[in-house]
Amino acid sequence: MLNHDDIRAARARIAPHLRRTPLFEIAAQDGRPPISIKLESLQRTGSFKARGAFNAILSGTVPKAGVTAASGGNHGAAVACAAQSLGVPARIFVPTMASPVKISRIRHYGAEVLVEGDRYADALALCEAHAASSGAKQIHAFDAAETVAGQGTIAPEWEEDLDRLRLRPLDTVLIAVGGGGLIAGIAAWFAGRVKVVGVEPAGSCALHAAMQAGHPVDVTVQSVAADSLGAKRTGDLNLAIAKLYVDHIALVSDEQIIAARQSLWDEWRIATEAGGAAAWAALQAGVYQPDQDERVGVLLCGGNVDPQIFA
């Protein structure tokens, strides 16, 4: 099981390569505490995925064939960026549903990109076949301890910055969920000290389904956020951590996600992709209703969106 030492080691490993993303406080309303927003959408490559990608590549030796990954877009850009920075070749498989903006980001970092298959699961199967035939190191988007530990580095950074700024600690964090690597890493760090609530699109809810079934199960994927929160099935490690430390999963509709993304832009000029706005959607739409004195943190996990969408 992932622990604090794993996440501390990941922080030391990846620190030279990443940004310390800022916090944004939304003022108190109706007597409630301010909301803490962690702008991981401003991370290198435009999402939190860079943390896990750098940690996974730096955690062991890389074969001559380089690295490979399957991705809806953000993880692919992160692996491509890490590979370029560390001087190793990368081949990234993405499904046809991937955003052109995200595919462009992957190519920007010099990786070979293959756009094949309708869904993430299709791209993953092709990636696994390539890894087996070539010997390339597969960097999994969410179902690997090194990836999860890298994503978990968000949590101690968040706590430290709140303390440094003399801001009230968090009672609860809302975290968007795709395959579950992000929430697993964060929950492993907080380990019950802070309530962790997952947020998934109703049309793409692999972790919610797994928690109900007691084991990972396949789900259908049909959501406006499917290019970032579109895993067909969560991983065993992520589910095990979620069972211990995730309070529950809140489900939001596509309409609520779109409204949340637009409100972030209209109110604060914060540009996020659909998946990046999912956690905010749970709060804005009242799907998650905090207590009167509950101090809530919301992670905005990705900002790889075509800016014309806000025009």
| pLDDT of amino acid 64 | 94
At residue 311, does pLDDT exceed 80? no
Average pLDDT, the chain: 95
CATH number of 50-146: 3.40.50.1100
Q: For residue 47, what are the β-bridge partners? A: 302
The DSSP call for residue 33 is P
Residues 6+ apart with CB under 8 A from 239: 180, 207, 210, 211, 215, 216
| pLDDT of amino acid 150 | 98
The full set of domain ranges for the chain reads 4-48+148-310, 50-146
Strands 137-138, 67-70: pairing kind: parallel
Same topology between domain 4-48+148-310 and domain 50-146:
yes
pLDDT one-digit tens code per residue, 14-62: 999 999 999 999 998 888 999 999 999 999 999 999 999 999 999 989 9
| pLDDT of amino acid 144 | 93
pLDDT one-digit tens code per residue, 85-115: 999 999 999 999 888 888 999 999 999 999 9
Spell 280-299 as b/e; 16+ CB within 10 A means b. bbbbbbebbebeeeebbbbb
Percentage of the chain modeled with pLDDT above 70: 100
| pLDDT of amino acid 30 | 81
Q: Whole-angstrom Cα distance, residue 186 to residue 180?
A: 10
* CA 55 distance to own-chain centroid: 14
pLDDT one-digit tens code per residue, 252-304: 999 999 999 999 999 999 999 999 999 999 999 999 999 999 999 999 999 98
| pLDDT of amino acid 309 | 84
Spell 221-244 as b/e; 16+ CB within 10 A means b. bebbbbbbbbbbbbbebbbebbee
Q: How confident is the model at residue 193 (pLDDT cuts 50, 70, 90)?
A: very high
Q: Tell me the whole-structure pTM to 2 decimals.
A: 0.94
Under 8 Å between Cβ of 160 and 279:
no
At residue 126, does pLDDT exceed 80? yes
Q: Which of 165, 178, 189 is nearest to 6 (CA)?
A: 189
CATH number of 4-48+148-310: 3.40.50.1100
At residue 138, does pLDDT exceed 90? yes
